[in-house]
Homo-oligomer: A and B are copies of this chain.
Amino acid sequence: MAIITILGAGRMGTAVTWPLRDNGHEVRLVGTHLDGEIIRACQEQRFHPGLRRRIPDGVLPLYLEQLDDALAGADVVVSGVNSLGVHWIGRTLAPRLWPGAAVLSLSKGLEASADGVLRTLPEVLASELPAGLREAVTISAVAGPVLAYELSGRRISATVFCGADRDELLRLRGIFHNAYYQVWLSTDAVGVEVFSALKNAYTIGIGAARGMLEAAGGPDEINAAMHNTAALLFAAAARELSHIVRLMGGRPEGFAGLQGAGDLYVTCTGGRTFRLGWLMGTGLTYSQAQAVMQEDTLEGAFAVLQMAHILPVWEAEGRIGPDDLPMLRAIIRAITSDTPLALPWDDLMGVEQMFV
């Protein structure tokens, strides 16, 4: 049995303790400086207030101050923070990791640097490590469609572990995989991370079909909705996502998997980001939609803002033309200028690109 140390006691960091404990591993769950209340509740009541569940027997909740002890002998160090905490995780682990350490990152997202380079979050994490150590550890990442509420309810779930090291991925799979947490693998870390990060941006566009139907007064007299329109948007998203993955050196064929179609599908069956797109499809601006939802929709918009930085750079470098990625451009325009979403229906697919 292995020792797993998780840094970050949020919902997803904690949810993976279910398969880990069911698989019989030693699990140390360490809160960040923001997780003090969570750790207290976990220690005193064995209850996670975010997940609203009793945590599995045997999980050891620890405060950040106990991190050094928690890392002793760890076979896997899991980064359980969200995308905003990746730099912090890197800096926190930098003086504490050892050659041969195995890191598994649960954070999804992309980060655009000031100079217009788009990096996956495992790359960002690695960049915080000292040069000698960076090459001496393995950093793998988790992506794919897993809601923490469902995983911690032992609903059948599947995820993708990705990284450069095939043997390391198989080792990690041996630790985490079980009947309700099925671990698929990919050596295409770039593709997996890009699909995963950008699905939210495209879900805004796909959700718009529902809002357009609402704005049109709903189904017509014979109950015709806008399924055709939704299908067009889903397909256009699939094409653009594959294009971006190819541009970044990933493998577009991964779209036919958990990281691509599986994740995009389920993001489009509900949730906050889909609802944001739905509201924007009715004609609301981003800020108006946020006001209606009365909640933070930054997760969906975050990748959009990242791509808003990157597209001009790619265009200047000649990697894309001004007519490429029209759906993403429309979504970027709506959100950055806070104007109604205007999808370019006639140009969603150029004739020269439509031949598959």
Partner of A155 from the list B52, B158, B228, B270 (CB cut-off 8 Å) is B228
Known contacts A51-B222, A222-B149, A345-B156, A232 near B261 by CB under 8 Å: no
A236 to chain B, nearest CB (A): 8
A179 proximal to B (CB < 8 A): yes
Question: Which residue of chain B has the shortest Cβ distance to A227 in the bound complex?
Answer: B266
Partner of A152 from the list B147, B157, B224 (CB cut-off 8 Å) is B224
Find out whether the CB atom of B238 lies under 8 angstroms from the CB atom of A150.
no
Q: In the complex, A319 Cα to B55 Cα: how many Å?
A: 47
Find out whether the CB atom of A238 lies under 8 angstroms from the CB atom of B262.
yes
Q: Which of A23-31, A63-71, A73-81, A181-189 lies on the face that meets chain B?
A: A181-189
Partner of A258 from the list B144, B232, B346 (CB cut-off 8 Å) is B232
Find out whether the CB atom of B253 lies under 8 angstroms from the CB atom of A356.
yes
A249 to chain B, nearest CB (A): 14
Partner of A228 from the list B150, B235, B355 (CB cut-off 8 Å) is B150
Find out whether the CB atom of B266 lies under 8 angstroms from the CB atom of A256.
no
Interface range on chain A (Cβ under 8 Å from partner): 35 or more
Bitwise, A210-250 to B at CB < 8 A (1) or not (0) is: 00000000001111111111111011001101100000000
A252 proximal to B (CB < 8 A): yes
A13 proximal to B (CB < 8 A): no
CB-defined contacts of A149 to chain B, threshold 8 Å: 222-224
Find out whether the CB atom of A147 lies under 8 angstroms from the CB atom of B224.
yes
Bitwise, A172-195 to B at CB < 8 A (1) or not (0) is: 010000010010111110010000
A322 proximal to B (CB < 8 A): no
A349 proximal to B (CB < 8 A): yes
Find out whether the CB atom of B238 lies under 8 angstroms from the CB atom of A157.
no
Interface-centre pick from A51, A191, A345 (highest chain B CB count, 10 A): A345
A301 proximal to B (CB < 8 A): no
CB-defined contacts of A191 to chain B, threshold 8 Å: 356
A111 proximal to B (CB < 8 A): no
A53 proximal to B (CB < 8 A): yes
Bitwise, A152-168 to B at CB < 8 A (1) or not (0) is: 11011110000000100
Give the interface of A toward B (CB within 8 A).
Answer: 51-53, 144-147, 149-153, 155-158, 166, 170, 173, 179, 182, 184-188, 191, 220-232, 234-235, 238-239, 241-242, 251-266, 268-270, 345-346, 348-349, 351, 354-356
Other A-B pairs beyond A231-B262, A235-B260, 17, CB < 8 Å: A145-B228, A146-B228, A155-B228, A156-B226, A158-B228, A179-B345, A227-B270, A230-B265, A231-B265, A232-B262, A234-B262, A235-B261, A238-B262, A251-B356, A256-B260, A265-B265, A269-B269
In the complex, 22 of the A-B residue pairs with CB atoms within 8 angstroms, ordered by the A residue number, are A52-B221, A53-B222, A146-B228, A147-B224, A147-B228, A150-B225, A151-B228, A156-B226, A156-B228, A156-B345, A166-B355, A182-B232, A182-B346, A227-B269, A231-B258, A235-B257, A235-B263, A252-B256, A253-B253, A256-B256, A256-B260, A264-B265
